[in-house]
Structure 1
Amino acid sequence: MLLKTIKGRHSILLILMPVVIVLLWMGALLHSESLTAGQNQMPLYELLLFLTGGNNFVLNLIACLLLILIAYGMVRLNEQYIFIRQRTDLPAFVFALIATGTVSLGGMHPSLFAAFLLFLSVDRVFKIYQGTATLSNSFDAGFLVGLASLFYLFAGVYIFWFWMALAVLGYLRGKEILAGLTGFIVPVFFVVAWYIWNDNLTELLNTIRNLFSSKNSLGVVSVFQYSYWGILGFLVILSSLYMLNVYEEKKISSRKYFIILLSFFLVSALSFVFFRGAGVEQYFISIIPVTYIASHYFVFQKHFWIGECLFYILVISSILIHFIG
């Protein structure tokens, strides 16, 4: 069966995974469109636009590469910290399916770069639990969040997630808080200093103001897209309930990682609710914890046929949405 095969460890699966992403991303590559046309963006994304000449095909190619890197990183992160206590390639495929499942996000968006950097920050946060180099890892986590905010403004709120993670890990101490805050400030400081040096700070402030105040519309969303999100929502709820049911059986480290991932998702959801300018692009960020929680459910679901049926539904709907979405 499909799920039984993919949740195992086969080198051919990891070789095929980029092919899956490229095929599902083909629409964005063949019909390259800008997702941020007519709106100024944060400095590092504007720099990317300058370096690529605003070529949408090149930007979407970079976006595809970022998706592949995150998918591979999903497997590596689990092998290093064993959130899912089984060696499996499944997170890479679950991420590949759901990351490409929102048709309106078929292309490069600043939030995708932010998602990549925030994913790297999760790795640094998990390292803090090991108790070694807590200050440098705290600095790195804050630095990555700061960099992410220079691509996508609303990624900056994840500095609060970092502090929540410190509390969960038992390291909510002055020096770790300060190290993370310093890391966050460093890239922001240099960018602001550059704008001041070039007597252009007003432009940066106007960009930030516009990004905060502009309403990000979902545009025209088909009933099929809503149905797909409904399937994902059902899967998230089911997977979370399953995780809560087996929570006490998990090792302390797995419990803490689960709470950190759940808080990561909640920060994304609250950003969407409370920030006018934060739109559907939050999807790229929120699916990072969703991938692990859903993969955990698929791996340990005791009723084999239920897991297989749900996985088939996810796979088929993730493919069909590109034709009817």
Structure 2
Amino acid sequence: MINQFRSLSPFNLLLLAAYTIFMRLAIFIHLPDPLSFEFLEPYAKLLIQIPITDSFSPAINIVLAMVITFVQALLFNRIINNHGLLAKPSYLPALLYVTGSSLFLQFLILSPPLICNFLLIWIMDKFLKIGKTTNAMMTMFDIGMIIALGTLIYFPFIVLLLMLWLSLLLYRSFNWREWIAGIIGFLTIFFFIAVFYYWNDKISQFYQIWKPLINKFPSALQINYNDYLVLIPIGVIIILATLQLRENFFRSFISTRKAFQMLFFMFVIAIISFYTKPDFRVYHFLLCVPPGAVLLAYYFSNAKKRWFYESLFAVLVCSIQYFLFV
């Protein structure tokens, strides 16, 4: 499987589509109860009216989520190949994106983080470009607006504002205009929302939007560790990828080194952002899939011993299927 996806053969598109369906067999065989899907946060619904999706049957919900994941995988694959983050262009990023998006049952249904991954992939592309531009002000402004749009869909997306400055530290020399451009872009969207709230005499509710930002980071979490045993193969691959990246670090292009550092920070921020959502669900961690899939793809792109990396990927897929069915 891995060796097949190391090429850009058009046949791999059919294989990827079949693989995406295969990774969702468990939820198709055992359809869940009727599912509700909130496309926007409550504070955005006053401004934008979206049809209620409770009318979707579980099957339609799952099929839509599958199609969205497949499209995202192709977009993600194109961006990673365009920026040359792997040894050579391939369909490995798409393969690992679909794999990462199938880890848990909650990843397989429509959810706000799944929609936000379109924006996250777009942001990744823009961050990877800022080191190649002479003036990054407009790019940072655009990223700020994209983060604001993501925040309307799923509030924890706001924590990605930290990436504005972390990326500038990695890629650019200090320019105060670039440092504030992203925040101005973010505030532009919320300025119009504030005006709308004011016109409707609900400005006090607008202030309530920001309260989750002062939530205390939880000191203890109730976790059923049996639900997360599927992460063991992922952890092994990440360790191997990190060792491989460390070995090749100073032989890589400077832009590639900075890209992986940026993706590492994005991965960490996506994880810790859950604290802004007291009732967060497992599907929150779909936000970790794009940056995480790059590291997984990096390992399989550079691994030498075919019997080992093919076996490791087979163990990963079998583990996911086992825990999805069980």
TM bucket, shorter chain: 0.7 to 0.9
Pick aligned residue for 2:112 from 105, 110, 113? 110
SS in 2 for 1:287: helix
Alpha-carbon distance in 1 for matches of 2:323, 2:42 = 31
Q: Is the 8 A contact 1:35 1:109 kept in 2?
A: no
1:12–1:201 CA distance, 2 compared to 1 (3 A)? farther
The number of aligned residues is 321
1:204–1:134 CA distance, 2 compared to 1 (3 A)? same
Q: Is the 8 A contact 1:95 1:287 kept in 2?
A: yes
More displaced stretch, 131-140 vs 267-276: 267-276
More displaced stretch, 281-290 vs 201-210: 201-210
More displaced stretch, 164-173 vs 254-263: 164-173
Alpha-carbon distance in 2 for matches of 1:96, 1:74 = 10
1:201–1:274 CA distance, 2 compared to 1 (3 A)? closer
Alpha-carbon distance in 1 for matches of 2:191, 2:101 = 32
Pick aligned residue for 1:248 from 247, 250, 253? 250
Alpha-carbon distance, 1:210 to partner: 6.9
Alpha-carbon distance, 1:133 to partner: 5.1
Letter in 2 for 1:31: P
* 2:311 matches 1:313: no
1:105–1:3 CA distance, 2 compared to 1 (3 A)? closer
Structure 1 equivalent of residue 202 of structure 2: 200
The structure carrying a bigger helix percent of its residues is: 1
Alpha-carbon distance in 1 for matches of 2:199, 2:61 = 29
Given the two structures, how large is their TM-score scaled by the length of structure 1? Answer: 0.85
- The percentage of aligned residue pairs carrying the same residue is 21
1:264-275 matches, within 5 Å, as 264-272=266-274
1:278–1:211 CA distance, 2 compared to 1 (3 A)? farther
Q: CA RMSD in A?
A: 3.3
Alpha-carbon distance in 2 for matches of 1:78, 1:133 = 23
Q: Which stretches in structure 2 are left out of the alignment for 5+ residues?
A: none
Alpha-carbon distance in 1 for matches of 2:86, 2:5 = 15
Structure 1 equivalent of residue 14 of structure 2: 15
Pick aligned residue for 2:159 from 149, 157, 160? 157
1:230–1:83 CA distance, 2 compared to 1 (3 A)? same
Pick aligned residue for 2:76 from 71, 74, 77? 74
Letter in 2 for 1:126: L
Q: Is the 8 A contact 1:77 1:123 kept in 2?
A: yes
SS in 1 for 2:50: helix
1:240–1:56 CA distance, 2 compared to 1 (3 A)? farther
Q: Is the 8 A contact 2:216 2:275 kept in 1?
A: no
Alpha-carbon distance, 1:258 to partner: 0.6
Given the two structures, how large is their TM-score scaled by the length of structure 2? Answer: 0.85
